[in-house]
Amino acid sequence: METVDLARLQFALTAGAHFLFVALTLGLVSLVAVVQTRATFSGDPVHLRMTRFWGQLYIINYAMGIATGLVMEFQLGLSWSGLTEYAGDVFGSALAIETLVAFFVESTFLGLWIFGWNRLNRWAHLALIWVVTLTAYASAFWILIANGFLQNPVGHVVEGGRMRLTDFGAMVANPAAQVAFWHVLVGSMIVGGFFVAGVSAYHLRRRTAEQDFFRKSLRIGLGVAAPATFVNAAFGGISFQTLQPTKVAAWVNTPDRLAAAQAAMVTAHGPGDYLPPVAWVHTSGLAMVLLWVVMMIVAGLSCLLMFFRPVVRGFRPWHRLLTLMIPIPFVTMMAGWIFREMGRQPWTVYGLLRTSEAMSPVSEAQMRFSVSAFAGVFAVLIVINYWLLARHARRGPGAVALGERPVDAPVPVPSF
């Protein structure tokens, strides 16, 4: 592999791994906020315990996501200094806002939420989780504003071989970013919904002591995943209107469309090969669509089965199917991300900066060492995250440490 291919592989591995954590974080925090709202207004102890149980799983995933996200900050300087020199003054503004939102506001309020159990007024504590949720959405929004600029650069001028931002509003309103944000956000709801439903189905199949707890959790998970699956199809359809011509040609994968797209790019940019990796784009796009169909069928049928109490209580094949469905939304999200990013090649900033031009001046040996090191570290983090999530999910709500009141602590008087 050439140095540029190694750099692309490294960024793909790190960004892809981090994206898996982000998808579950966005989905789980939304469900936790909704469940805590229900518990706060109704005083239902079951929903309060649900908040603590699913909240603990969310915190585990969030912490591991931060560990992988920190690495992303070093990627641009390590391997892509050409990109930062050329376009950093523009898309870096969105990344700076995201950093302030994610690493200052979101993490601060999450810390208050974690350590505020049994110490804060219940309404103040509820407000904290909603601030965390909204800042998580804001973090994803600004990341996709930056990515959308790379997909469809708007609101800038090129002076002295560098980009300069001239219209911040145009960059924010970029259709390539706006549609992608909603597509990713709703996709994360599918990830979170199937995760909650799958873990709940596991406990229902095992006939653990917390049957009422997990029946309610199952309803909430499916109640989020099913409509989100249909809504996301709409955003996916809209997003095809914002795709680059070469990406559309690779998705259609017919000789005429590919030849026409290549000819148009040669006319605009001169001689060169401007088609993305057709097999990657076509296969990942097809996988995304087919897996969406699977999720739609399973979620739709599951919602119908929820009306039959004996099925919810004891239909073990259905419970096993829902548990096996947990990784499917992750694979679907990853296929969609590959489709989006691979389809932009051979450009880093579409139509303006080639990927080969965005590289840092590093040797092949340095990149091979870097790829091996990052791949090893991320593999360990993913395994640890899976082990922690599986371990705490299997142990159930009886072993939750989040929000646990010390034995000798007085019971707080609720504030209204």
Spatial separation of the C-alpha atoms in residues 55 and 83, rounded to whole Å: 38
Q: Which residues pair with 157 in a beta bridge?
A: 164
Question: Going by DSSP bridges, is the β-strand pair 156-159/347-349 parallel, antiparallel, or unpaired?
Answer: unpaired
Using alpha carbons only, give the angle 171, 329, 18 rounded to the nearest 5 degrees.
Answer: 55
**Average of per-residue pLDDT across 224-239:** 91
3-class secondary structure per residue, the chain: CCHHHHHHHHHHHHHHHHHHHHHHHHHHHHHHHHHHHHHHHHCCHHHHHHHHHHHHHHHHHHHHHHHHHHHHHHHHHHHCHHHHHHHHHHHHHHHHHHHHHHHHHHHHHHHHHHHCCCCCCHHHHHHHHHHHHHHHHHHHHHHHHHHHHHHCCCCEEEECCEEEECCHHHHHCCHHHHHHHHHHHHHHHHHHHHHHHHHHHHHHHHCCCCHHHHHHHHHHHHHHHHHHHHHHHHHHHHHHHHCCHHHHHHHHCCHHHHHHHHHHHHHHHCCCCCCCCHHHHHHHHHHHHHHHHHHHHHHHHHHHHCCCHHHHHHCHHHHHHHHHCCHHHHHHHHHHHHHHHHCCCCEEECCCEECCCCCCCCCHHHHHHHHHHHHHHHHHHHHHHHHHHHHHHHHCHHHCCCCCCCCCCCCCCCCC
Spatial separation of the C-alpha atoms in residues 347 and 336, rounded to whole Å: 18
Reading the block at residue 400, the tokens are 């939750």
For the cut 70, the answer to whether the pLDDT of residue 416 exceeds it is no
pLDDT band at 55 (very low <50, low <70, confident <90, very high): very high
**Average of per-residue pLDDT across 76-85:** 82
pLDDT band at 311 (very low <50, low <70, confident <90, very high): low
Reading the block at residue 111, the tokens are 């810390």
**Average of per-residue pLDDT across 202-230:** 88
* C-beta of residue 107 within 8 angstroms of C-beta of residue 138: no
**Average of per-residue pLDDT across 71-97:** 82
Express each pLDDT in 204-213 by its tens digit: 888 877 788 8
Spatial separation of the C-alpha atoms in residues 104 and 88, rounded to whole Å: 22
**Average of per-residue pLDDT across 355-376:** 86
> Rounded to two decimals, what is the model's pTM?
0.90
pLDDT band at 377 (very low <50, low <70, confident <90, very high): confident
Spatial separation of the C-alpha atoms in residues 118 and 106, rounded to whole Å: 21
Spatial separation of the C-alpha atoms in residues 213 and 225, rounded to whole Å: 18
Spatial separation of the C-alpha atoms in residues 102 and 73, rounded to whole Å: 13
What does the mean pLDDT of the chain come to? 87
